[in-house]
Amino acid sequence: MSDALSTLRRELAQIEDLVIAARVLEWDQLVMMPRGGAETRAEGLATLNRFAHELFVRDEIGELLDELRPSEADLDPDSDEACLIAVTRRDWEKARRIPPELRGEMTRVASAGMEAWAEARARDDYASFRLWLDRTLELKHRYIECFPATEDPYDLLLDDFEPGMRTDEVRRVFERLRPALRDLLASAVDEEVEAFVAGPYPRGAQHELSLTVARAFGATEDCFRLDPTVHPFCISFATRDVRLTTRYAEDDLHGNSIFSTMHEVGHGLYEHGGDTALDRTPLATGCSSALHESQSRLWENVIGRSLPFWRWFYPQFRDGFGSVLADVPLERFHRAINRARPSLIRVDADETTYGLHIILRFELEQELLFGGLTTTDLPEAWNAKFEELLGIRPPNDRLGVLQDVHWSGGMFGYFPTYQLGNVLSVQIWERLVTDLADAYEQVEQGSFGAIHGWLREHLYRHGRKFTPAEMTARVAGGPIDPEPYLRYLADKNASLAAA
């Protein structure tokens, strides 16, 4: 056993080194690099990623996995070794199905498509992007053909982000949410947007306050960095080297870095919490997109938009911004950051309407791929469905169908995981509270260590060892269930209406 296993470990560690090097280049590109470096950087990244991929799909890796098969039964199925073998086998078998020529074409079209999308969005010119979308859809169909037929072909796209999850499971959750979220929105209090939402919120103070919260949540100085970017993200090179980015909007409370920081810290704590024994293996990351998003949302929303959190943090926050919030009592501030109202842009949506933005994309991408909806008719289909779900109509494509990057990069199957993450965040929180009954009292004291410790113990330390279904059962006590999330939203909206 041990010879083949240590060879496999060594091979995987070297591949992981290349993957990490590519991530460092990516981080640098988005945070530090002057624009002039773009062309050379694209080549460098492509080379590293190709090397990593070619090393991984070699016959030798498959032979090592075969050699290990007879002794696998002797391993504890929860051990790092058994999980490493199982996950590597799944990844290897999947990666081998895609011909290099198709993979290369997908990478090229994604990169050119994203560029075309950025220009189309800037000029509100959907027509110039439409042909790229057609090429992307055609490549998705070729990708699907690389796999044995499944009950629903969308399963194969979902599998890239949520391994093993089936479309009908997502549909079951979304069919429950669709009418329930619309009812919640209909019953939300409608009131004017408060003037203090428009700031100004100076960047310097935002950065200081973001750091204060990040440190309080557990993003320690020796293992984390926090830098400003246009689009916030989190990337990690090791459990002890996690890079967070945030954005600063001076004229919009909802775009205040505090919320994007709390979101990215949630992702970062998950990456940081992996057992260090998993470093330099393919297990050293979160389990799936939805579970990852459950952590960003748990810290950003379940904790970061709660009244107990702001009872602790509001005095410092208000002081940081001089006169803007001087006459704004805590309850009014709390209502402003939680109120449900329809808006056009997904990333700015409140917790109640966010799910409707996702359901729209989930339905449309299936119609585009398998239901006969053409890219010519897509903008109108978007606007009509938007009006049906949210009651307002986008005035142009820039604020409608062109707002997200995902489809231009070929990321079909990704959107639903955002909402599954929201649902899971509350499911996991409910479990956490059965062990830590005073969790919100601790939040109110600005004390997050026990919460962080619980999440590390029950979720973070396992990295990618288990399948999403297994991990969800372990941390949330069962399969994904929308009821806790709907109760949470109903309670929150009721308390805001009463305040």
What DSSP string runs through 76-136? Answer: -TTSHHHHHHHHHHHHHHHHHTS-HHHHHHHHHHHHHHHHHHHHHHHTT-THHHHHHHHHH
What is the smallest separation between the CB atom of 349 and Zn ion, expressed in angstroms? Answer: 14
* CB nearer Zn ion, residue 239 or residue 296: 296
Q: Kindly determine how many residues on this chain lie close enough to bind Zn ion according to the rule CB under 5 A.
A: 1
Q: State the DSSP code for 406.
A: G
What is the smallest separation between the CB atom of 390 and Zn ion, expressed in angstroms? Answer: 22
C-alpha to C-alpha distance for 284 and 239, rounded to whole angstroms: 7
Degrees to nearest 5, angle at CA 129 with 374 and 413: 60
The continuous run of DSSP H or E covering 291 comes out as: helix 289-297
C-alpha to C-alpha distance for 359 and 149, rounded to whole angstroms: 25
380 an active-site residue? no
Lookup: tokens for 22: 């590519």
What is the smallest separation between the CB atom of 348 and Zn ion, expressed in angstroms? Answer: 14
* CB nearer Zn ion, residue 266 or residue 482: 266
C-alpha to C-alpha distance for 16 and 281, rounded to whole angstroms: 6
Contact between 417 and Zn ion (CB under 5 A)? Answer: no
Q: State the DSSP code for 300.
A: I
- Contacts of Zn ion in 289-308 (CB under 5 A): 296
Stretch that binds Zn ion, among 288-296, 301-309, 403-411, 452-460 (CB under 5 A): 288-296
* CB nearer Zn ion, residue 281 or residue 422: 422
Q: What is the dihedral of CA 399, 400, 404, 406, to 10 degrees?
A: -170
- Of 16, 26, 162, 264, the catalytic one is 264
* CB nearer Zn ion, residue 333 or residue 407: 407
| 469 contact partners, CB below 8 Å, separation of at least 6 | 164, 165, 479
Q: Starting at the earlier edge strand, list the strands of the sheet with 234-238.
A: 224-228, 241-246, 234-238
Residue spans of beta strands (DSSP E) within 252-400: none
| 206 contact partners, CB below 8 Å, separation of at least 6 | 248, 250, 256, 257, 258, 320
What DSSP string runs through 438-483? Answer: THHHHHHTT--HHHHHHHHHHTGGGTTSS-HHHHHHHHHSSS--SH
What is the smallest separation between the CB atom of 347 and Zn ion, expressed in angstroms? Answer: 10
Contact between 206 and Zn ion (CB under 5 A)? Answer: no
* CB nearer Zn ion, residue 137 or residue 347: 347
* CB nearer Zn ion, residue 109 or residue 226: 226
Q: State the DSSP code for 195.
A: G
* CB nearer Zn ion, residue 196 or residue 270: 270
The continuous run of DSSP H or E covering 224 comes out as: strand 224-228
What is the smallest separation between the CB atom of 300 and Zn ion, expressed in angstroms? Answer: 8
C-alpha to C-alpha distance for 352 and 190, rounded to whole angstroms: 14
* CB nearer Zn ion, residue 15 or residue 298: 298
What is the smallest separation between the CB atom of 329 and Zn ion, expressed in angstroms? Answer: 31
Cβ-closest residue to Zn ion?
296
C-alpha to C-alpha distance for 354 and 418, rounded to whole angstroms: 9
Rg, Å, the chain Cα set? 23
C-alpha to C-alpha distance for 136 and 132, rounded to whole angstroms: 6
What is the smallest separation between the CB atom of 263 and Zn ion, expressed in angstroms? Answer: 6
What is the smallest separation between the CB atom of 264 and Zn ion, expressed in angstroms? Answer: 7
Contact between 427 and Zn ion (CB under 5 A)? Answer: no
Q: Which positions lie near Zn ion, rule CB under 5 A?
A: 296
Catalytic residues: 264
